[in-house]
Amino acid sequence: MTLWTLFFKNSNILSEENSTQKKDILLIKDIKYKNKLVEVYLSTNKNINLSDLEKLCDSVGWLRRPIKKVKTAIQNSFLIVSLIQKIDGKACLIGFARATSDYAFNATIWDVVVHPDFQGQGLGKILVHEIIKELRSYEINTITLFADPEVVVFYNNLGFVSDPNGIKGMFWYPK
Ligand SMILES: CC(C)(COP(=O)(O)OP(=O)(O)OC[C@H]1O[C@@H](n2cnc3c(N)ncnc32)[C@H](O)[C@@H]1OP(=O)(O)O)[C@@H](O)C(=O)NCCC(=O)NCCS
């Protein structure tokens, strides 16, 4: 499968406040789900249910990865952002993204996923914006990711640029 390397430099989309919030934050009160309006919470807690994450990745057809390695990857990630739908007292993981980093200059975003039942309602954009906001709060300037061809435009619209011909990296520097 072809992957595109995309780079993001700086952001004027979001404020750069330092957010160390670890509690779930009510993000949206009334997102549509099966003719109901449900609440969606945002969490940066790394202690997520790995089986729920596996189900979420299954829902978009990703190949399964060894759960132990996924656990290690999460524990060693710089940042995790997850979206949790709460309805009738039950919580369900509906979105996820993570970033690795050298904590100073560079970071890479991985595993951006929104459950198909919730796609097209702005949640993917929120996940990426949230990651960028957090990384920028650490003054990390270079943010990269690997994009499948069908989501290159999605990332382009969020400020990422592709490396030309898949060979050379392109960078955008803060002015
Ligand atoms: C890619 C993905 C995360 C987008 O999530 P989403 O919640 O549907 O996206 P949003 O609703 O936030 O869309 C934000 C914008 O991007 C656009 N968009 C969404 N998916 C797109 C795509 N595949 N290509 C181009 N534009 C796309 C939307 O139309 C919307 O545009 P707007 O701001 O002008 O209204 C989701 O489709 C997904 O999980 N896909 C499967 C997993 C995957 O491929 N992840 C990326 C790994 S590289």
Residue 18: enclosing H or E segment and its boundaries? Answer: none
Beta carbon of 113 within 6 Å of any ligand 1 atom: yes
| Residue 129 CB burial class (10 angstroms; 0-12, 13-18, ≥19) | middle
According to CATH, what is the number of the domain 4-166?
Answer: 3.40.630.30
Predicted TM-score of the model (pTM): 0.85
Ligand 1: centre distance to CA 124 (Å): 6
Beta carbon of 125 within 6 Å of any ligand 1 atom: yes
33 is catalytic: no
pLDDT in tens, 20-39: 446 788 887 778 788 788 88
Domain spans of the chain? 4-166
Distances (CA, A) of 81 to 42, 147, 167: 7, 18, 30
Tell me which of 33, 138, 155, 173 is the catalytic residue. 155
pLDDT in tens, 114-172: 999 999 999 999 999 999 999 999 999 989 999 999 999 999 999 998 874 565 665 55
